[in-house]
Structure 1
Amino acid sequence: MNDKKHILVLPVNYPNPANSVAGTFFQSQVNSLREFGHTVGIVSFCLLRISELKHISYLDQLETKNEIQLCFPAVPKVQSLNHKIRTQLTTRLIKRYIKVCGKPDVIHVHVYSAAGAAIWAKEKYDIPYVITEHYSHFANNQITRYFHKVACSAFKNANACLAVSKSLCNTLEEMFHLNFQCIPNIVGPEFQVLNVSESDYGKFILNVASLVPIKNHERLINAFSIVAKSNNQLNLVIVGDGPLREQLDNLVKSLGLSDRVYFLGTQNKAKIATLMNQAELFCLSSDYETFGVVLIEALACGLPVVATNVGGIPEIISDSEFGCVAKADHETFAKSIIEQLNHRTQKVKVSCKSKSYYGSIAFLSRLNQILNSVL
């Protein structure tokens, strides 16, 4: 069998004119597949808030002959209707894609809610599809009855079901009584050991995460307040934005840390890679993570991590060279930070070892094995 395939990717989100960082790890996978020699097309459907539509001048965007993106206004608070609209319009985009680029050998769906059009394409064109699940709400039991039914159909009709961590595989197997195989996310080439200038933030701990409840920045900030008492040269840099920004800023002020905690908002990959090379330690204080792409990005930059012992995180921090997992209370988290700061790390060794697990070669080897079993 020819190893080079025509793969159509249906991601749940993808970088778009309103949000350049949406689904960037899907984009990293696409780029790696293309570098290997596969023909890879993308059909992405991006539901945007009405306020976001001002950032784009047209809804239907054809970037290249094999990348079709439709940005569409979401109906507020009616997720089931948005899903039905997404499925219907994506089937039209697939028709258009096949007319322009030909019939793909296989479709790769990322996240169950994007699978409706793949089911249709399998029935109409006899195109097999595989699905990779990333969604944390399965483990948190936050799936509505409607979307549980959608997920069941997505997984049942797939030729292969994948998930980004063994933890998520186990959860999905228990819920849907199907076999799931683990293929971790890929680390992008931007993340590597770099020669960088001194930071504007002095010595600092780094966090990169959306400012939303599940990321639990409150835990991290409270832990840092303990660490800061014994290390007056250390600062905390938080990259990301979200609805909790004002609340977290108020917490920082109440702890007297306004001059030591920096909120940088959303940053691009190049900036994040630079910060990861400048930081002393990476911290992720989430209540749950199916995988944690930022962790493998930090490790690829040679930066050790301290992260909560939840979901798929222990699968990544399986080597003491990579850092440690910590209990969820902020006192224990602070203790783990202090201990890790005192541990000497060989950056190049950490980077090389992590890329052997999560680099493009490892990812392509795993995925090619799956695709060859399907075709």
Structure 2
Amino acid sequence: MNNQVQKELKIVFFTNWYPNKKNPVEGIFVQEIIKAVSKSHSVLVIHNAGVDPTLDRPWKLELQENSPLTRGIKTYRFRFRPSPIPKTSLLISIWYFLQAFRKVVQIDGRPDILHAQVYPAGFLAAIVGKLSRIPVIITEHSSAFARDLLSRSNLFTVRIAYRLAKVVLPVSSALQDAIIQKGLQGNFQIIPNVVDDSVFYYLVKKKTDNILRFLYVGLLDRSENKGLKILFQALEKLAETDQNWQLDIVGDGPGREYYQRMVAESPIKKCVYFHGLQTKPEIAGFFGKADLFVLPSIKETFSVVTAEALATGTPVLATKCGGPEDFINENNGILVEAGDAQALYEGLLKITKALDGFDHSLIAEEAYQRFSPEVIRDELTKIYDGVLN
């Protein structure tokens, strides 16, 4: 903990990803970063809610403060009409955001730092910061770099944003490598995501039976990136052994019925349970009962849920998908190759034999030292001070 008295700064966060009525969990990891910073600094959020053709004016800024979605953080929802002129949407969005930002400054005062989350917001923030002479920092979370999903226009805006930003903060070394491989330049420094330690913390696990409980938490979509199909294939191999196990799947999405049908037609149908979308405290409860958390993804920039598992003292079997390589080690889990059902199966065999050897309290303590709000807040404060001084 940093015991030095620090000046309270005024930070405006700008993000396209943020909890909203349509998707209450969108960008929840962004909100955790902002919540951590708010413990030492004055913060507010401008959420770019995007294009809204129903608006009766060019742009609109709505204050949303006392809402479960904002968790006590002053939040403006920014929306704007689409451009009526072809190929001018980027310029129009810059102009509208500049006006909206100036309105926020009139109401709340000039910020010391404009801290954007993810490159689309980073581009707008970088332009407005340059025009307003306010330093800009960008935290990068996007998997688009590693998954080769960036268009030429995306790369153009990212290149400008990173050059104008004082610091760019990828959340993992794999993400930083993927960014650099695209030929992008910036003042990079890795700062991981935050784990909410008021919810995810160590509790002694009490076994009441001989069932090995595996846990998966995540989005259930039809893409291959989350690796669920590969996990099921690995578990089908495990079902041929004499191990007594079950897999709990927490999460929802457009692919849920697809995966439920897949399981129903497989030999593991009696061992897999779908629990749907759960609250954070409920997810923490699942971690408390789990012997092992499994992350079978193909590509991840960080994987907050894996860090949350560690914070509860739960060992992890993860693929080498990007983020986990920074923090999974022999003290807390095993890494296997991504996209390989046989490797995942062999990893399951290996780690289930080693479960009794893990020090769960040590796993949780190491996670706290890396991901707690206090630690990340102090690291960001050092960066803010460095930019300003």
Q: Could you state the TM-score of these two structures normalised by the residue count of structure 1?
A: 0.87
| Structure-1 separation of matches of 2:242 and 2:7 | 54
Structure 2 CA distance for partners of 1:84 and 1:247, relative to 1, 3 Å: farther
Correspondences of 1:80-95 after superposition (within 5 Å): 87-95=94-102
The reply on whether 1:33 has 2:33 as its aligned counterpart is no
- Among 45, 50, 55, which residue is 2:48 paired with? 45
Q: CA deviation at 1:351?
A: 0.3
After superposition, give the CA deviation of every residue in 1:33-76 in whole Å (9 maximum; x if it has no partner).
Answer: 122x21111111234999xxxxxxx993421596233275998x
Q: Does 1:322 align with 2:332?
A: yes
8 A Cα contact 2:130 2:164, kept in partner: no
Moved more, 236-245 or 288-297: 236-245
Answering whether residue 157 of structure 2 is matched by residue 155 of structure 1, we say no
Superposed CA offset, 1:198-252 (max 9, x none): 89xx642111121232112101111122223325531111122223223222221
| CA distance in structure 1 between the aligned counterparts of 2:315 and 2:161, rounded to whole angstroms | 37
Query: C-alpha separation between the residues in 1 aligned to 2:133 and 2:21?
Result: 33
Identify the residue that residue 69 of structure 2 maps to in structure 1.
none
Q: Distance in 2 between matches of 1:70 and 1:18?
A: 13
CA contact (8 A) 1:223 1:331 kept: yes
What's the Cα RMSD here?
A: 3.0
d(CA) in 2 for partners of 1:177, 1:320: 34
Instruction: Give 1:325 deviation, angstroms.
Output: 0.4
AA aligned to 1:348 is S
Structure 1: 5+ residue runs without aligned partners? Answer: 51-57
Question: In structure 1, what is the Cα distance between the partners aligned to 2:92 and 2:277?
Answer: 29
Distance 1:126 1:72, change over 3 A: closer
Work out whether 1:299 is the aligned partner of 2:335. no
Alignment-derived partner of residue 348 in structure 2 = 337
Matched residue SS, 1:70: strand
Structure in which a larger fraction of residues adopt helix: 1
Instruction: Write the distance in 2 (CA, Å) between the matches of 1:81 and 1:193.
Output: 52
Q: Tell me if 1:361 matches 2:364.
A: no
Q: How many residues align?
A: 362
- Of 124-133 and 111-120, deviating more is 111-120
4+ runs of 1 displaced by more than 3 Å?
47-50, 58-61, 71-75, 80-93, 194-199
Q: Is the 8 A contact 1:187 1:360 kept in 2?
A: yes
Residue 15 of structure 2 corresponds to residue 11 of structure 1? yes
**Stretch deviating more after TM superposition (6-15 or 203-212):** 203-212
* Structure 1 Cα separation of the partners of residues 130 and 374 of structure 2: 33
Alignment partner, residue 252 of structure 1: 263
Cα separation, 2, equivalents of 1:84 and 1:241: 37
Contact 2:248 2:275 in 1 (8 A): yes
Deviation string for 1:128-165 (max 9, x for gaps)? Answer: 11001111111222101111111111111101111111
Aligned mate of 2:213, from 204, 216, 220: 204
1:183 aligns with 2:191: yes
Deviation at 1:313, TM superposition (A): 1.8
Give SS of 2:219's match.
coil
Q: Show CA shifts across 1:322-370 (max 9, x none).
A: 1010123112201211221222222211101111112123212321221
Q: Percent identity?
A: 28
| SS of structure 2 residue aligned to 1:43 | strand
SS for the counterpart of 1:97 is: helix
The equivalent residue for 2:202 is: 193
Scaled by the length of structure 2, the TM-score of the pair is: 0.84
Residue 236 of structure 1 is matched in structure 2 by 247
The 10-residue stretch of structure 1 (150-159 or 296-305) with the greater mean CA deviation from structure 2? 150-159
Match of 1:53 in 2: none
SS in 2 for 1:7: strand
Distance 2:337 2:73 in 1: 46
Question: Secondary structure of the equivalent of 2:293?
Answer: strand
Q: Matches of 1:143 and 1:279 in 2, distance apart?
A: 37
